[in-house]
Amino acid sequence: MDHFLYRNGVLHAEDVPVTEIAAAVGTPFYLYSTATLLRHFALFDEALAGTDHLVCYAMKAASNQAILRTLAQAGAGMDVVSMGEYLRARAAGVPGERIVFSGVGKTGDEIRTALQGGIRQFNVESEPEMEVLNAVALSLGKVAPITIRVNPDVDAKTHTKIATGKSENKFGIPIARARAVYAMAGAMRGLDVIGIDVHIGSQLTDLAPFEAAYTKVAELTEQLRADGHDIRRLDLGGGLGIPYERSNSAPPLPLDYGALIKRTLAHLGCEIEIEPGRLIAGNAGIMVSKVIYLKSGEGRDFLIIDGAMNDLIRPAMYDAHHDIVPVIEPAAGTEQQPYDIVGPVCESGDTFARQRDMPPLAAGDLIAFRGAGAYGAVMASEYNTRPLIPEVLVNGDQFAVIRPRPTFDEMINRDTIPEWL
Ligand code: LLP
């Protein structure tokens, strides 16, 4: 459930008409709902009630500091994957002891910054990374808390570009080699081996792959304990999918996911961490855009809108479906007609939907892309020298621009032209 609903014939974000925000900030823009973010966070938190746990929001999904602070104030930790994310989380007020550092390619600099600034744990992904982490920790006179990410060789049954738990993926250490790698880690004085990490992929719509992976993690926990490691924390990654198409059946709920976690792992008495990103932010955000032209093609009508693939890349990159709705609610019984909904960028890939049934639309009409809160703004670029679009946060009857649209001067003046030109 989200808080983008029609009221009096106009799409609202909580108590604010989307038309009012569009008039104030111009289109296109991203719009997030505080109540939805908090509700989704609470669903995970409640699903794990009764177990020692921390929900570490995977901030790669939507990393505006206003979003981070909203979630951190509700008790969330953060999962970060780069120096930039670490510094951004800290700037938003998240304490180091609630930040976990994931990612396959952490550099020595990133590790040093996090160790000095404070960190809950590093999720180590390879032996060479382990050696760098150990060396940096020793050079600082610190001991780095680590889990090791294992690759359980489980098929997440999701889009290949976002599946991470098969042995051919670049992520984690093959689970078959885990005991040997834990033994290496245990012998390093700069490391404190506290747990196991696993993340098998994103947009999972079935719990079975989670169950397969977590069952393997439970077995490994017992083996590692027998080997003498004090395994006390399990980081289970993120990945629970969201309903992108309202007409489709809904993916499992956080409550079911929490029950699965308890069923497979609670007997071990470990602290549980999860790293959801998409389910917290996805349906808490929409992208609002305006129709520039209605163009009649050969046997089809194109809606050319002011949002483009550089603003929301998911359809071009993953053939992802986003529900698209008019901001002004169509009258009951309005006949739908098919449109190709496209942006102004000079590529055929700049297509959001083909032959999508919509009520009749005309130049100037506003439309909203649902499910755009996660992996939307964060994956935007300035391709075609199009400014990054603003982000707006609603809370009840108030809204605030949480990232303004840059001016063309700001964009253009970032280039420097060498003296010889
Ligand atoms: N933890 C780790 C280690 C991850 O790599 C990810 C996502 C998450 C947590 C959060 O997963 P989530 O709960 O959001 O599924 N850009 C793609 C999604 C990439 C996901 C990358 N890793 C998309 O737009 O679908």
Closest atom of ligand 1 to CA, residue 375: 24
Torsions phi, psi for 337 (to 5 deg): -140, 155
Q: Residue 185 pLDDT more than 80?
A: yes
Question: What's the CATH number where 189 sits?
Answer: 3.20.20.10
Domain count, the chain: 2
For the residues 79-90, what does the mean pLDDT come to?
A: 98
Q: Which domain holds residue 392?
A: 4-31+282-412
Q: Could you say which of 346, 362, 417, 421 is catalytic? A: 346
The alpha carbon torsion through 325, 326, 329, 332 (nearest 10 deg) reads: -70
Choose one of 253, 281, 309: the last residue of a domain. 281
Q: What percent of the chain has pLDDT over 90?
A: 94
Cα separation, 158 vs 154, whole angstroms: 11
- ipTM over 0.85? The verdict is yes
Is 418 inside a domain boundary? Answer: no
Q: Residue 159 pLDDT more than 90?
A: no
CB 27 within 8 A of CB 289: yes
Cα separation, 121 vs 116, whole angstroms: 13
Q: What is the pLDDT of residues 249-297, one digit of tens each?
A: 789 999 999 999 999 999 999 999 999 999 999 999 999 999 999 999 8
> Is 56 tagged catalytic?
no
Angle subtended at Cα 140 by Cα 134 and Cα 143, rounded to the nearest 5 degrees? 50
CB 165 within 8 A of CB 151: yes
Q: Residue 227 pLDDT more than 80?
A: yes
Choose one of 234, 265, 281: the last residue of a domain. 281
Q: Residue 246 pLDDT more than 90?
A: no
Q: Residue 209 pLDDT more than 80?
A: yes
For residue 159, the 8-state DSSP code is: -
Same domain for 292 and 194: no
H or E segment at 147?
strand 144-151
Cα separation, 378 vs 59, whole angstroms: 9
Structure confidence at residue 289 (pLDDT): 99
Same domain for 160 and 87: yes
Question: How many other CB atoms are found less than 10 A from the CB of residue 404?
Answer: 13
Same domain for 341 and 220: no
What is the pTM assigned to this prediction? Answer: 0.97
The pair of three-digit structure tokens given for residue 177, joined into one six-digit string: 């080699």
Ligand 1 test: best mutation among 60, 81, 210, 273, most atoms within 8 Å of CB?
60
Same domain for 241 and 351: no
Same domain for 287 and 153: no
Cα separation, 363 vs 212, whole angstroms: 50
Q: Which residues contact 333 (CB under 8 A, 6 or more apart)?
A: none
CB of 162 sitting under 6 A from ligand 1: yes
Choose one of 241, 265, 281: the last residue of a domain. 281
- Cα torsion angle, 389, 394, 398, 400, sign: negative
Question: How many other CB atoms are found less than 10 A from the CB of residue 356?
Answer: 17
Q: Residue 168 pLDDT more than 90?
A: no
Is 421 inside a domain boundary? Answer: no
Same domain for 249 and 122: yes
Same domain for 249 and 177: yes
Is 22 inside a domain boundary? Answer: yes
Structure confidence at residue 162 (pLDDT): 80
**Mean pLDDT for the chain?**
97
Could you tell me where the beta strands, DSSP code E, fall in 267-397?
Answer: 271-274, 285-296, 301-305, 324-326, 337-342, 351-358, 366-369, 391-395
Q: What is the pLDDT of residues 97-109, one digit of tens each?
A: 999 999 999 999 9
| Cα 238 to middle of ligand 1, angstroms | 7
347 has binding-site annotation: yes
Is 53 buried (19+), middle (13-18) or exposed (0-12) by CB count in 10 A? buried
The DSSP annotation for 163-175 comes to B--STTSSSSEEG
CB of 202 sitting under 6 A from ligand 1: yes
Structure confidence at residue 169 (pLDDT): 83
Cα separation, 106 vs 123, whole angstroms: 10
Is 332 inside a domain boundary? Answer: yes
Strands 16-17 and 99-101, bridge-based pairing: unpaired
CB of 237 sitting under 6 A from ligand 1: yes
| Cα 165 to middle of ligand 1, angstroms | 12
Cis, bond preceding 128 (omega within 30 deg of 0): no
Is 419 inside a domain boundary? Answer: no
Ligand 1 test: best mutation among 169, 171, 278, most atoms within 8 Å of CB?
278
H or E segment at 89?
helix 83-91
Same domain for 274 and 289: no
Same domain for 309 and 403: yes
Q: Residue 167 pLDDT more than 90?
A: no
CB of 149 sitting under 6 A from ligand 1: no
Same domain for 220 and 142: yes
Question: What's the CATH number where 335 sits?
Answer: 2.40.37.10
Same domain for 86 and 19: no
Q: What percent of the chain has pLDDT over 70?
A: 100
Q: Helices 208-226 and 254-265 sit at what angle, rounded to 10 degrees? A: 30
Same domain for 219 and 121: yes
Q: Residue 247 pLDDT more than 80?
A: no
pLDDT band at 315 (very low <50, low <70, confident <90, very high): very high
Is 375 inside a domain boundary? Answer: yes
